[in-house]
């Protein structure tokens, strides 16, 4: 029996995790969840899952409202609540699904592993910003980590029963996003609506913008590095416009293993929650002829230079992931709120990387300070424009 907590239950990954839990047998019980602003999900989730005993909401006022409505449930609020809920004595959590967006996911990931939980991780930013901390916790503790990203689940499948020394390349596929065919001189005219129109995946807004700039792929390169512990030079992006080939591993003997399947995040979520199982009866099956038209493209680094930050973060380490992540998050939200143009995202991130102090061997406090200060700096730059 596994007691499950979902961080970010109202989001794209969170709601799909709820759907997967319904398809799993009674061995899995949802006992706790967290939601940000979309509190309209609370009643529905409680109606569908009767074992919930603890909930965290972002806003104190929402907590007051729901406390009265559900007196038998323990409520928590804000970012402190995201950590306190893990200590709730009325629930004995086994599995934590971290489906928060951005830096908000870091401390919940770290605390889950410190408490030796099984962490099913969609929040790739946890590894981008805190890869070194998470690796140490996994080495020293009893916590376990299962990725939820489709590419990393695909890589795990291609690596199954293989010797890591035999790997020649890990090829992380990218859809190419909405601007793969857009000429570079038209990037200045990219609107929020166009950038949110992802060709193959329906996801939260932040990751959708990151997919269009390829910062998402940069982050996935870092994620692959920490998850599979392979040399950064062996990790390369490659474009599959259909998002049907979820990633590939090329071995030194010339064999290429690829994982093919529908663009359905519930499959990697199921794989993570069951520690490596697939079940074709629970989701759409693969009709091989649908995917027979394989064609891969090279990544266009000139058009999508932000992808270079993946290898940069791996090589530089220190607080470089925290700097780039915070700058990116602030720029993405500024773009979504129409405070900056699409092409400003890259120029501001580049400026911040050049300006902000690099720390070689940061403490967790250094990382938190970096995140906070970089956000202030980005907003100062935006306001001074």
Q: Where are the alpha helices (DSSP H) in 73-124?
A: 78-84, 106-114
Shortest Å, Cβ 271 to ligand NAP? 13
124 binds ligand NAP per the rule CB under 6 A: yes
- Give the torsion through C-alpha atoms of 7, 271, 153, 114, to 10 deg: 40
- CA-nearest of 323, 385, 382, 332 to 356 is 323
119 binds ligand NAP per the rule CB under 6 A: no
Interface characters, 138-157, with ligand NAP (x: CB under 6 A): -----------x--------
Shortest Å, Cβ 9 to ligand NAP? 6
42 binds ligand NAP per the rule CB under 6 A: no
204 binds ligand NAP per the rule CB under 6 A: yes
The Cα–Cα gap between 60 and 76 comes to 8
Residue whose pair of structure tokens reads 């959590």 in the numeric block: 93
Quick one: 29 or 124, whose CB is closer to ligand NAP? 124
Give Cβ neighbours of residue 132 (< 8 Å, ≥ 6 apart).
317
Interface characters, 279-308, with ligand NAP (x: CB under 6 A): ------------------------------
Helix (H, G, I), strand (E, B) or coil at 74: strand
Quick one: 35 or 306, whose CB is closer to ligand NAP? 35
207 binds ligand NAP per the rule CB under 6 A: yes
Name the DSSP class of 297.
B
Shortest Å, Cβ 254 to ligand NAP? 30
In this chain, which of 31, 52, 91, 99 binds ligand NAP, going by CB under 6 A? Answer: 99
12 binds ligand NAP per the rule CB under 6 A: yes
Quick one: 14 or 143, whose CB is closer to ligand NAP? 14
CA 160 to chain centre: 22
Give Cβ neighbours of residue 228 (< 8 Å, ≥ 6 apart).
155, 156, 159, 164, 170
In this chain, which of 96, 195, 227, 265 binds ligand NAP, going by CB under 6 A? Answer: 265
Stretch that binds ligand NAP, among 36-44, 158-166, 178-186, 313-321 (CB under 6 A): 36-44
Interface characters, 313-352, with ligand NAP (x: CB under 6 A): ----------------------------------------
Shortest Å, Cβ 220 to ligand NAP? 9
173 binds ligand NAP per the rule CB under 6 A: no
11 binds ligand NAP per the rule CB under 6 A: yes
Number of residue whose CB is nearest ligand NAP: 11
Residue whose pair of structure tokens reads 């690796």 in the numeric block: 135
Residue 273 CB neighbours (<10 A): 22
Q: How many residues bind ligand NAP (CB under 6 A)?
A: 28
Shortest Å, Cβ 328 to ligand NAP? 11
**Alpha carbon separation from 153 to 253, 280, 349 (Å, rounded):** 23, 16, 29
5: enclosing H helix or E strand: strand 2-7
- CA-nearest of 238, 251, 277, 240 to 158 is 251
Angle between helices 266-273 and 12-23 (to 10 degrees): 60
**Alpha carbon separation from 155 to 59, 260, 272 (Å, rounded):** 38, 11, 13
Stretch that binds ligand NAP, among 6-14, 42-50, 127-135, 161-169 (CB under 6 A): 6-14
Applying CB under 6 A, the residues found at the interface with ligand NAP are 8-14, 34-38, 58, 99-101, 104, 122-125, 149, 201, 203-204, 206-207, 265
């Amino acid at each position: 029996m596994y007691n499950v907590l979902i961080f970010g239950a109202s989001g794209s990954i969170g709601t799909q995790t709820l759907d997967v839990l319904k398809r799993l047998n009674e061995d899995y019980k949802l006992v706790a969840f967290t939601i940000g602003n979309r509190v309209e999900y609370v009643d529905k989730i409680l109606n569908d899952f009767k074992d919930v005993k603890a909930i965290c909401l972002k806003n104190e006022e929402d907590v007051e409202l729901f406390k009265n409505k559900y007196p038998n449930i323990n409520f928590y609020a804000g970012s402190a609540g995201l950590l306190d809920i893990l200590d709730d004595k009325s629930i004995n959590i086994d599995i934590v699904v971290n489906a928060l967006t951005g830096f908000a996911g870091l401390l919940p990931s770290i605390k889950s592993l410190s408490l030796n939980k099984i962490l099913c991780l969609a929040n790739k930013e946890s590894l981008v910003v805190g890869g070194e901390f998470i690796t140490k916790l996994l080495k020293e503790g009893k916590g376990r980590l299962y990725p939820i990203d489709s590419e990393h689940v695909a890589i795990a499948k291609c690596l199954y029963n293989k010797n890591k020394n035999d790997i020649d390349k890990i090829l992380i596929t990218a859809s190419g996003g909405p601007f793969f065919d857009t000429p570079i001189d038209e990037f200045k005219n990219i609107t929020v609506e166009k950038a949110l129109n992802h060709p193959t995946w329906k996801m939260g807004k932040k990751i959708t913008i990151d997919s269009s700039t390829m910062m998402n792929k940069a982050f996935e390169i870092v994620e692959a590095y920490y998850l599979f512990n392979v040399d950064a030079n062996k990790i390369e992006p490659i474009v599959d416009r259909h998002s049907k080939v979820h990633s590939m591993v090329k071995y030194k003997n010339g064999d290429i293993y690829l994982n093919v399947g529908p663009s359905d995040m519930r499959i990697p979520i199921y794989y993570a929650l069951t520690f490596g199982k697939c079940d074709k009866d629970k989701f759409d099956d693969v009709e091989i002829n649908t995917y027979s038209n394989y064609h891969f493209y090279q990544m266009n680094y000139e058009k999508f230079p932000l992808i270079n930050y993946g290898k940069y973060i791996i090589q530089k380490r220190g607080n470089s992931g925290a700097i780039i992540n915070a700058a990116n998050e602030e720029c993405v939200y500024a773009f979504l709120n129409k405070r900056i143009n699409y092409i400003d995202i890259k120029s501001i991130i580049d400026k911040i990387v050049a300006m902000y102090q690099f720390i070689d061997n940061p403490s967790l406090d250094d990382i938190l300070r970096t995140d906070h200060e970089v956000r202030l700096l980005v907003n100062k730059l935006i306001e001074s424009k």
